[in-house]
Amino acid sequence: MNDVINNKAHHRYELELEGHVATEHYKLDGNVITFEHTDVPKELGGRGVGSILVQGALDQVRAAGLKVIPECPFVKAWIEKHPDYADLVKR
């Protein structure tokens, strides 16, 4: 139910819940992924779906050995609240 998938064709991570899809849009340049925008449908708002999506995406980023540029304010704030993911941020 909380399976975050990487839709490479559309350059976004997706989390489908109750017929709605939350997305984390990105661009990839070599081994650096830039998170540009998080979109959580209003039907899923206030339930932590964005956090589940971001954590799932970052777990996959870590497994792939990528570095992150968090342009998206939501992703940036999430990483700041979860310092165990700070090592993923490209310095």
State yes or no: pLDDT of 1 exceeds 70: no
Distance CA 64, CA 24 (A): 17
Q: Torsion angle, CA of 36/86/17/28, rounded to 10 degrees? A: 40
- What is the rounded (10 degree) CA torsion for 64, 55, 6, 69? -70
| pLDDT at position 91 | 87
Q: For residue range 27-83, what is the model confidence (pLDDT) as tens digits?
A: 999 999 999 999 999 999 999 999 999 999 999 999 999 999 999 999 999 999 999
CA angle, 45 then 48 then 49, to 5°: 70
pTM of the model: 0.94
Q: What's the pLDDT at 2?
A: 62
What residue ranges do the domains of the chain occupy? 4-88
Q: Does domain 4-88 have CATH number 3.40.630.30?
A: yes
